[in-house]
Amino acid sequence: MRTVQVELGDRSYPIYIGPSLLPETGSYLEKHGLTKKSTHLIVTDEQVAARHLDTLKQSLESQGYTAVVSIVKSGETSKSLAVYEEVMTTAIQGGLDRSSAVLALGGGVVGDLAGFVAATYMRGVKFVQIPTTILAHDSSVGGKVAVNHRLAKNMIGAFHQPELVLYDMDTLQTLPAREVSAGLAEMVKHGLIRDAEFAGWCRDHASELLSLDREALAYGLERGCSIKANVVSADEREGGLRAILNLGHTIGHAIEAVGGYGEFLHGEAISIGMAGSAMLAVKLGRDASIYPETVSMLKALKLPVVLPEHLPTDELIAAMKHDKKFTEGTMVFIVPDRIGEVSIVKDIPEALVREVIEELRRKEPEHV
């Protein structure tokens, strides 16, 4: 088993990565001091519940824990205030108190939703992440939790760190290919922003990663979590540095908002966004190789790099202006300086962003 420690002072916590962890959840909760006197809440989605809920429940019961369960629909549409209220109702009716914990069993959607419930139920209770997707290696580090407003993604949320993260590799084995790729988008992103060698490793081991080879996956998740943990430790509440984690997210979030949250997986949208950021970098005078190199890495992981025709530029720009990175009237982008290093660039002219969007829509360049 591998352990990544996220260092955040008295909010520090470990991420356990390994096989056969889910059936041991009860023991881990005990190890981390969660009370058996209070009822806990499991939040999961329909697909994950069908595969893993019984294992989790049995593990809790065997250690003397009691829990109520809230099963939400699979997909981004569950990150709504309406679903949030339903989960709150289950928590209240289940009698959760201030010593209770909310356990998120699932991917990023479940983690974000359950985390926001944990952050705000009785002004905050304990939170445990049990990610079942590769994408969730990203959202399980750093304590960002949120639901969507119909006008913009992740607009309503909090910072709320988990007590522990249990990353059972076995739960990843049933992921559909599209979700595997989408998850690897965040993994390679961590290389692109801080570790050129790791970005190269992701490309070179793309076939192992795509076929869910346990060794490659365990290393990739550990490395991805570690890079993110370092950034978050330095800037928990996104005063500055942490924003670099948003590489590809300005355009990516706009694609999700305009396409509707169902059309693109988050990882697919930010893959197109990262291609766009790389193109922007070249337009801003960075080395011309950044764009084709970035695109080749993304394509190796079977990720999209071209913007679909049916998303109007004006709507994408309007959505970007609702983005949280749009501050004090200027457009902010995370721009690669080279592979493995990025800058936060403010005051990007809107015309340049339009140019990038238009070019992203064309067939990919010949030289890629």
List, as residue ranges, the binding site for NAD(+): 74-79, 108-112, 132-133, 144, 153, 171-174
Closest separation between CB of residue 153 and a copy of itself, Å? 11
Asked about 160 being catalytic, the answer comes back as no
Q: How many residues bind a copy of itself (CB under 8 A)?
A: 39
d(CA 294, CA 290): 6
CB of 289 to a copy of itself, least distance (A): 34
SS3 177: helix
Choose the stretch contacting a copy of itself; rule: CB under 8 A; options: 21-29, 211-219, 252-260, 316-324: 316-324
| Secondary structure (H, E, C), 272-303 | HHHHHHHHHHHHCCCCCCHHHHHHHHHHHCCC
Whole-number Å distance between alpha carbons of 100 and 87: 14
Q: Which two three-digit tokens encode residue 142?
A: 């750093």
**Position 346 contacts a copy of itself (CB under 8 A):** no
Catalytic annotation present for 246: yes
- φ, ψ dihedrals at 26, nearest 5°: -55, -45
> At its nearest, how many Å lie between a copy of itself and the CB of residue 297?
30
Torsion-angle region of 328 (φ positive above 0: left; ψ -120 to 50: alpha; else: beta): left
Q: How far is the CB of 111 from a copy of itself (least distance, A)?
A: 15
The yes-or-no answer on residue 2 being catalytic is no
69, 143 contact by CB (below 8 A): no
Q: Any catalytic annotation for residue 123?
A: yes
Q: Shortest Cβ distance from residue 268 to a copy of itself (Å)?
A: 24
Q: Which stretch binds a copy of itself (CB under 8 A): 41-49, 53-61, 152-160, 340-348?
A: 152-160
Beta-carbon count within 10 A of 288 CB: 11
Residue from the set 155, 212, 306, 352 that interacts with a copy of itself by CB under 8 A: 155
35 binds a copy of itself (CB under 8 A): yes
Q: Does 237 bind a copy of itself (CB under 8 A)?
A: yes
Closest CA to 293 of 191, 224, 154: 191
> Angle formed by the axes of helices 350-361 and 249-259, to 10°?
70
Residue 121 found at the interface with a copy of itself (CB under 8 A)? yes
Identify which of 210, 33, 39, 242 has the alpha carbon closest to the alpha carbon of residue 141.
242
Which CB atom, from 73 or from 321, has the smaller least distance to a copy of itself? Answer: 321
Give the three-class secondary structure for 333: strand
Q: Which stretch binds a copy of itself (CB under 8 A): 45-53, 87-95, 208-216, 304-312?
A: 87-95
Residues contributing to the site for a copy of itself (CB under 8 A): 35, 37-38, 81, 84-85, 88-89, 92-93, 95, 97-99, 119-124, 144, 146, 149, 151-152, 155-159, 237-238, 321-322, 324, 326-329
Q: Which residues are catalytic?
A: 123, 144, 186, 228, 238, 242, 246, 249, 253, 266
